[in-house]
Homo-oligomer: A and B are copies of this chain.
Amino acid sequence: MSTEAELREQMATLTRIFAMRGLLGVHGHISGYAPDSGRIYMCRGLGSDKATTRPEDLFVFDLAGQVVEGEGRVPLEWPIHTAIHAARPDALAVAHLHSPWATLFAVAQRPYLPVLIAARWFAAGLQVYPEPHLITTPERGERVRELLGADQALLLRGHGVVVAANNLQELLYIAVTLEDNARAAVQAAALGTPDFLDEAAFAGVEPDTTMSIRARLVWDYFARLEARWDRQPPFGVGALG
């Protein structure tokens, strides 16, 4: 695992990449957990400018939800992060996103399924958190964790998504896959019911690469793009979700 300085650097980079892709809007936030120290690093929440996040801008929480470092307004929905980090050693990275396309499946009355082979990770479908409120208490956080189970993503009804991954590189990969596949599924639906790729469609098909290799290459790609981003406000997507 990375040092604290490396983890802070990666957290800031990923926050800016998500901002560049329009996945955070004004509300989203992400976290990275360091199991050795028990510290959860979390970016700032509502109203903060994610596109300019630096390593020193992060909050540090403990697993009980206490702020250990950082001043000011913490993200209202911090219980999403603490509940998952406390229970899933395989989920050191968590995001709450207002991804414009993926959120449509938390609005539509139709299951989220892959239409792209890159979204194979979701071939068993996704659960939906059913209550139309924010995740503002440990109890609600716990319910999110239960519904997420061992999955990598959860839909929040009329609200957004939660993504959980082994590390920050894989978090980026899964979040982008989730969003790309949602866009393709919605746009293809104009042509009729898409060819959904459920588990049966992938039966007997070996994955062509490992997640960890792909995730590292995709991270490098977006990090390079983010480095030259002119930080103009995203246009043509929702802001509040």
Contacts and interface: CB of A to CB of B under 8 A. Distances in A.
A144 interface: no
Interface string A163-188: 00000000001001101100111111
A90 interface: no
Interface in A82-118: 100-101, 103-105, 107-110, 114-118
A195 B104 CA distance: 10
A138 interface: no
A39 B187 CA distance: 39
- Which of A20, A26, A229 has the most chain B CB atoms inside 10 A of its CB? A26
Contact of A188 (B76, B107, B183, B201): B107
A69 interface: no
B104 A136 contact: no
A195 B76 contact: no
Contacts of A235: 20-22, 234-236
Contacts of A117: 132-134, 157-159
A133 B227 CA distance: 32
A216 to B, nearest CB: 8
B134 A197 contact: no
Q: Looking at chain A, what size class is its interface with the partner chain?
A: 35 or more
A16 to B, nearest CB: 11
A240 B118 contact: yes
A158 B239 contact: no
B49 A225 contact: yes
21 contacts: A22-B235, A49-B221, A49-B224, A100-B183, A103-B116, A107-B185, A114-B158, A115-B158, A116-B240, A116-B241, A117-B133, A118-B240, A131-B205, A185-B191, A186-B187, A186-B188, A189-B190, A228-B233, A230-B230, A232-B232, A235-B235
Given A21-B235, A218-B240, 17 more contacts: A47-B217, A48-B221, A51-B225, A105-B191, A108-B192, A110-B192, A120-B132, A132-B197, A132-B201, A132-B202, A134-B209, A158-B195, A176-B239, A184-B241, A189-B190, A228-B233, A235-B235
